[in-house]
Structure 1
Amino acid sequence: MKILSIDIETRSNIDLAKCGVYKYCDTDRFDILLFAYSVNYGAVKVIDLANGEKIPQDILNALEDETVIKTAYNSQFERICLSRYTGYPIGEYLSPNSWNCTMVWASTLGLPKSLAGVGSVLGLEKQKMTEGKDLIKFFCVPNKSGEFNDPVDHLEKWSAFKNYNKRDVEVELQIQQRLIRYPVPEFLWGEFYRSEEINDRGILIDRTLVKNALTMAEKSNAELIDKLKELTGLENPNSVPQIKGWLSQQGLTMDSLGKKEVAKAVKSTEGTLKEVLALRQKSSKSSVKKYVAMENCMCSDDRARGMFGFYSANRTGRWSGKYIQLQNLPQNHMPDLEQARGLVESGNYDAIELLYDDIPDTLSQLIRTAFVPRAGMKFVVADFSAIEARVLSYLAKESWRTAVFADNGDIYCASASAMFGVPVEKHGVNGYLRQKGKIAELALGYGGSVGALKAMGALDMGLEEEELQPLVDSWRAANPNIVRFWWDVDRCVKNTVKNRVTTETHGIRFFYQSGMLFIQLPSGRWLSYVKPRMGENRFGGEAVTYEGVGGTKKWERIESYGPKFVENIVQAISRDILAHSMRTLSHFFVCGHVHDELIIECSMGVSLYAVCEQMGRTPHWISGLLLRADGYECSFYKKD
């Protein structure tokens, strides 16, 4: 036995979509109903566990045997469920080191995330059965009485469910056969295994803090709603139509009650109107929902697991955040963060109400602090300094920028200085120009123009409309090699797609093969674009298009051009550098990561300097790139 392909059907009283597979299995009402498998690409067999059949012993042995490769579509689900089935306690799981994921394989080629989507794009002979969703709801989710439907009472549906289970393995095997020419590199499987180890470890959550924060949020919101009722006379001030109607009666017409629109209106109104809008701001603070997400996916040992989706971004291979989503937690700026945290943890609502004007905002700023290390341990949080700016400067050979990084300078000040031809120092001479340098750096590195500056909040930061185009022009004039890099990449991509030839620029290789555009990165990894062809952009010019998941979240044809491909390349290389640092620091207990940041749970004696020094080591495959990692220590997670 060399390859064991698996698909399982399960049931649980836990909502899988909200809570994730680790919590889904952490209940006495979890069961595996069906186990479909294929050995060495052979005929698929289905074991009916719900009706007393047993998984053969040689198959059970293979689950533990690291010489046997186990494959599944979204293999994390099968691995964690089977860990529970085979008797592993919560917090311990089958080793991921011999589990390959067909979904990851498909993702490395720019294909959809879903099994049905991949089957459709590849035009497989056997497709995923569409009736599966209804069958899963029928057998795997408790009915209205809270019980599960018994297969014995629904034999026809159960037979269809077994066929569905078998078909999923058959579809997976077809996908593997179609992708065989593009195997996932072994080093990438190594990254996957490390990612799964981090998911298995999870991050400890302060359950008391979460419980008290939710209680306080509920009490605060009830008080805000009562105040809104008193001021407006509305039955339900939470109702958007009702509050819009009331505002209109006061002479203020608002098309949207979004955060930005309400914040803007608060500044321009007075009296009762201003008070109502300010209360609306507070009561609609959505970030406290993160506490609910924590409560949902926290396992019985208080650790939240499975929060990082490997290779979730097709075009770059970046990780995505799941469930709690560490990638978009609110920042904390409170000077007395520890004091506020202590008051919430002790449940002292009166003190919170007395000391802090905005309770929802206070609770929002404390969300990060719910993540804590084990007793006697600390967090070391380390991240790369300006990683994308460094990679972009290195690839484009923009030497003045590289000199800034070599001197550990401030790239925002240096950029403003290059743009405006005067010295700029943070909190010093011409310091007011630093903000313009910062907004330009964040918005313009990948071909962005006036629209990108606006999207980045340039107008909200005090810049005037007439300043924006000159800002774009100044940044591009100061960075001619980056601009040249955009259009060198653009020419290479177009030439490769048009003429099916291999091209290269700035150490990046472009080639066409079997209806795919590949971009080879310095790490050896490739980016893939499905069915590329030449098309026309919205300005009537020539453009490259390809198939992928677009802004509509659906599979569609997407238009792209040089700067956008550069963005993919730079973000992908930055991702590879983070993956390299995970390997370098794999002897530590890495328990989380966010973009370019690692969260390490470690003993008190671990040196912050040593962690940052190791993290900042440049990979051999991009020799000459100047990296720097900075960090801090904390007894609870926060933004330093």
Structure 2
Amino acid sequence: MTMKKGDHLFLVDGSGFIFRAFHALPPLTRKSDGLPVGAVSGFCNMLWKLLTDARDTSVGVTPTHFAVIFDYSSKTFRKEIYDAYKANRSAPPEELVPQFGLIRQATRAFNLPCIETEGFEADDIIATYARQAEAVGADVTIVSSDKDLMQLVTSTVHMYDSMKDKQIGLPEVIEKWGVPPEKMIDLQALVGDSVDNVPGIPGIGPKTAAQLLEEYGDLETLLSRAGEIKQVKRRESIINFADQARLSRQLVELRTDVPLELDLDALVLEPQDGPKLIGFLKAMQFGTLTRRVASACDCNADEIEPTEVTVEWGEAARGPDLDAGTAASADTGGAGADAPASPAKAAVAKGTGEATPASLAETRVAAFGNAKIDTTAYVTIRDVDVLDEWIAAARETGLVGFDTETNSLDPMQAELVGFSLAIADNAENPSGQTIRAAYVPLTHKTGVGDLLGGGLDENQIDPRKALDRLKALLEDPSVLKVAQNLKFDYLLMKRHGITVENYDDTMLMSYVLEAGKANHGMDGLSERWLNHKPIAFKDVAGSGKSGVTFDFVAIDKATAYAAEDADVTLRLWMVLKPQLAAAGLNRVYERLERPLVSVLADMEERGITIDRQILSRLSGELAQKAAAFEDEIYELAGERFNVGSPKQLGDILFGKMGLPGGSKTKTGQWSTSASVLEDLAAEGAELPRKIVDWRQLTKLKSTYTDALPGYVHPETKRVHTSYSLASTTTGRLSSSEPNLQNIPVRNAEGRKIRTAFIATPGHKLVSADYSQIELRVLAHVAEIPQLTKAFEDGIDIHAMTASEMFGVPVEGMPGEVRRRAKAINFGIIYGISAFGLANQLSIERSEAGDYIKKYFERFPGIRDYMDSTKAKAREDGYVETIFGRRINYPDIKSSNPSVRAFNERAAINAPIQGSAADVIRRAMVQMEPALEKAGLGERVRMLLQVHDELIFEVEDADVDKAIPVITSVMENATMPALSMRVPLKVDARAASNWDEAH
């Protein structure tokens, strides 16, 4: 049938479908031989949904022609133009390699043209077909959300964004990029693309590029008139990198003259060949989809033999690089994908549960929110053979919920009491609503309070036999393990010789989705998403003096509690996984959260050595200093009183002495908080200043010098802190038991505490610390030319700021002037007020206000950044880091002015602090592979992360080799995902203790 006006051509970006399918679902293998087929299964389900809607003529647009387009390989004509094009792409995962050929066979089984052309990308083929169809008057829908294809959009060529269930036409391109489709090529040439390694012009972002093209019309005109640009840095960049922009234009412009093996007329949408498709699906052993197709095509699947398929490995298995899928995800905010809806049926598809991540998420929320959880149905596994059956079922399904029960919350000392499993047959029942769960008791005891610990309860599996079987399951990379707060279980299992492979953590999924909105504990998540209140720990173990550890809980009660944990966790995974894709946050979870589980668990297991004698000596010194302060406090107060009593202190300050600014708490006592005392001290009151100093000393003593020896592990003789991944809104890690993040470094006492953290004999501690990373991030995101140039040239940033603001030469600058500039630099990041700056610098508030005003005059881009960030936060309810982490501020529109102002200040700071946190997370993830590659392996061990600093223990002989590797990883941590406008700088030193190394 000759294509003509009125026909409608659908062009599917097949390579994008592959990677969406691969990343959307847990690993799946063919039962008969273990062949990886997860991506094939996802691809087939997505394509079937698309075709089912496309062939339904009752609603919407029905295509007359249809084709699926693939990348032939990564070697294209663009490589000949620019050898570094896509050079940062990594090879596809081994399990994906054989699936490329199978997916091409699947496309043909669907009776669809499977099109690829050597030397060209899928986008070029799509562009060629689109322009040919447009020329004969046909309409075109490109099923993709790739920004590279937006240059093709016209009045008759549309795209369909399957992530957001919406058409992308002329208005949508202009709204998103600020330019019409015909200028997208020039815009991309200016901006570049870090994913594809298209260079562009450094320092030019999409908004700037759009403004330039609006003013100058097109790229060549802009380049020829670059000398007219007023902004010095921008003018120099465009002039210096003009040829690079022209090269980039060649790379991003799609070819519309690809030699095509099939012409337009060959793309006519043929009727579905039921037996042909069923034969392929049976060969893949996709039972559910086979039944659906048989029903739709009115075929008897039992009478159809499986088709012979060819499995290709190695070079024969042609496919694009891994990040081709990542690139597609990047264009949609990093979303992975489940089956996309038909563009003709976007509205109909909503709520079907199979159309898009958004509709799947909605369906899952509805289904699991209404599903009842029956804790009486859980199984207690007391027999090895039964355990084997459950583990076999988990391996066959490829998905298992997992949780451990212990007698302690310290994973380094806890004993394993039992574990629980939850299984949903995801292959046969994609909704996953039918979940069964079981508990395996191992060391439950009788005789509560028995000094000997009580005897073991009867009918429990020998822990060694159970762990042998658990090891096979947990170390199987083809099975996805799902847990809540997995790091605890990971470290516990590691102590038993088991390294968990291939996992998801529902706590971290929630953290990525809702940081700043809610807590991420399992009970809260269960009530929020599943409408189910789990059994409380105190209900099975008691509380207070009558409470017992879990090993003394009766096994029937333990089963209900423990199996429910695994059950709820697996249900939460079913709900939260598509939420990540729908929100475009898969990349944040996959690259910044999940990889850190094993990294932090290893760090916690290693611990660090402390010198108890140093701490004992420091405790004595702090006690003496505190006593001296107390004497001074009594003299200033005119009487002796309990300095640690807020009530007595308040009565002295505001009752007896009548100091101004007093306010009472809800209990009727005077407030003596740190901020109150600091304000009084800033007004010149001596007693509050002494109280502040005394509190700092006593806190150091009680929190560190007295307490740290109690954290020494009885076996390892080291201190093992515990890191929390999900306790701050911005992505910063926190530590506890003990908290090593809050040891002060700006006073001598705090630095002395760090001297007690020592290297073991034959080793050194290496401290690697980012230099002014938050200011560097600010210079990057706010595009501040002065700051950017100063960092590029290695200039003292605080001296430069002082020179810009106060007109003082950098050479011979007084220390006080530089100190003021430093306070302003860092204060601006945290939204400091004139009042706060005045207190910090001990100056009048009016003078501090003048400083801040002048700062914004000298660096107007910072004010622009702040205003635009507040506006975005008010509009969206969240802000984002440079890597797409989302930080929510639900109260940003509060009617309470103080609440609103607090949220606005936090929203301004969050992208800066959060981006810095993301950078160090990336460095930590990349560190150990880099050390391994350098041949350093176990001789260099990452021990601690404290704010912008990483601490390592390194064998003496390897220090000189290790420091350059550590520094390089940290300074290049943003690559290849992002090339920052300013260089990151790391200071690294080695010494025998932490203070000397810092």
TM-score (norm 1): 0.72
Identity %: 23
- Contact residue 507 and residue 726 of structure 2 kept, 8 A: no
Does 1:104 find its partner at 2:528?
no
Q: Which residue of 2 aligns with 1:600?
A: 952
1:367 deviates by: 1.5
Q: Distance in 1 between matches of 2:720 and 2:614?
A: 18
| Structure 2 spans left out of the alignment, 5+ residues | 1-394, 426-434, 445-456, 663-669, 932-939
Q: Distance in 2 between matches of 1:74 and 1:308?
A: 11
- Contact residue 266 and residue 277 of structure 1 kept, 8 A: no
Q: Distance in 2 between matches of 1:237 and 1:415?
A: 42
Q: Which residue of 2 aligns with 1:7?
A: 403
- Contact residue 487 and residue 598 of structure 2 kept, 8 A: no
State the structure with more CA Rg: 2
| Structure 1 spans left out of the alignment, 5+ residues | 89-93, 335-361, 498-516, 541-550, 552-556
1:474 deviates by: 0.8
Aligned 1:242-391 pairs, distance under 5 A: 242=648, 251=657, 255=670, 284-300=698-714, 301-314=716-729, 316-331=730-745, 334=748, 362=749, 364-391=750-777
Does 1:48 find its partner at 2:441?
yes
Does 1:21 find its partner at 2:378?
no
Q: Distance in 2 between matches of 1:613 and 1:491?
A: 37
* Cα 1:238/1:536, change in 2 over 3 Å: closer
Q: Which residue of 2 aligns with 1:546?
A: none
1:519-573 CA-to-partner distances (Å, cap 9, x unmatched) read 66554x431548x699455459xxxxxxxxxx9xxxxx99845x64442222222
1:47-87 CA-to-partner distances (Å, cap 9, x unmatched) read 23313422755334323444433322111222334455x4x
Q: Distance in 2 between matches of 1:103 and 1:278?
A: 38
Does 1:621 find its partner at 2:977?
yes
Letter in 2 for 1:527: R
1:399 deviates by: 0.9
Q: Distance in 2 between matches of 1:519 and 1:247?
A: 42
Q: Distance in 2 between matches of 1:576 and 1:329?
A: 22
- Contact residue 142 and residue 149 of structure 1 kept, 8 A: no
SS of the equivalent of 1:601 reads strand
Match of 2:848 among 468, 472, 475: 468
Does 1:406 find its partner at 2:802?
no
Q: Distance in 2 between matches of 1:621 and 1:175?
A: 30
Q: Distance in 2 between matches of 1:225 and 1:79?
A: 47
Letter in 2 for 1:126: H
Mean CA deviation greater in 222-231 or 375-384: 222-231
Q: Distance in 2 between matches of 1:279 and 1:395?
A: 38
Q: Which residue of 2 aligns with 1:554?
A: none
SS of the equivalent of 2:481 reads strand
Q: Distance in 2 between matches of 1:278 and 1:178?
A: 48
Does 1:164 find its partner at 2:519?
no
Does 1:397 find its partner at 2:783?
yes
Q: Distance in 2 between matches of 1:276 and 1:572?
A: 35
1:386 deviates by: 1.2
* Cα 1:480/1:609, change in 2 over 3 Å: same
- Contact residue 802 and residue 817 of structure 2 kept, 8 A: yes
Greater relative contact order, per chain length (Cα 8 Å cut-off, separation 6+): 1
1:566-608 CA-to-partner distances (Å, cap 9, x unmatched) read 4222222222221232244322411111121111111223224
* Cα 1:224/1:488, change in 2 over 3 Å: closer
* Cα 1:128/1:283, change in 2 over 3 Å: same
Q: Which residue of 1 aligns with 2:532?
A: 126
Aligned length: 536
- Contact residue 779 and residue 982 of structure 2 kept, 8 A: no
* Cα 1:299/1:149, change in 2 over 3 Å: closer
* Cα 1:31/1:521, change in 2 over 3 Å: closer
* Cα 1:150/1:518, change in 2 over 3 Å: closer
- Contact residue 46 and residue 165 of structure 1 kept, 8 A: yes
1:389 deviates by: 1.0
Q: Which residue of 1 aligns with 2:574?
A: 177
SS of the equivalent of 1:599 reads strand
* Cα 1:159/1:229, change in 2 over 3 Å: farther
Q: Distance in 1 between matches of 2:526 and 2:826?
A: 38
- Contact residue 21 and residue 306 of structure 1 kept, 8 A: no
Pairwise CA RMSD: 4.0
1:427-453 CA-to-partner distances (Å, cap 9, x unmatched) read x235432222112111223654325xx
Mean CA deviation greater in 111-120 or 223-232: 223-232
SS of the equivalent of 1:197 reads helix
Does 1:526 find its partner at 2:885?
yes
Q: Which residue of 1 aligns with 2:607?
A: 202
Letter in 2 for 1:619: M
Letter in 2 for 1:612: T
1:229 deviates by: 9.3
1:420-473 CA-to-partner distances (Å, cap 9, x unmatched) read 344345xx235432222112111223654325xx1xx53242221111221221
Match of 2:989 among 626, 632, 635: 632
Q: Distance in 1 between matches of 2:995 and 2:701?
A: 15
Structure with higher strand content:
1
TM-score (norm 2): 0.48
* Cα 1:418/1:537, change in 2 over 3 Å: farther
* Cα 1:274/1:528, change in 2 over 3 Å: closer
1:104-149 CA-to-partner distances (Å, cap 9, x unmatched) read 1211112522112222332x133322x43343345xx8759xx869
Q: Distance in 2 between matches of 1:239 and 1:225?
A: 13
1:370-412 CA-to-partner distances (Å, cap 9, x unmatched) read 2111211111111111111111111222111111111211222
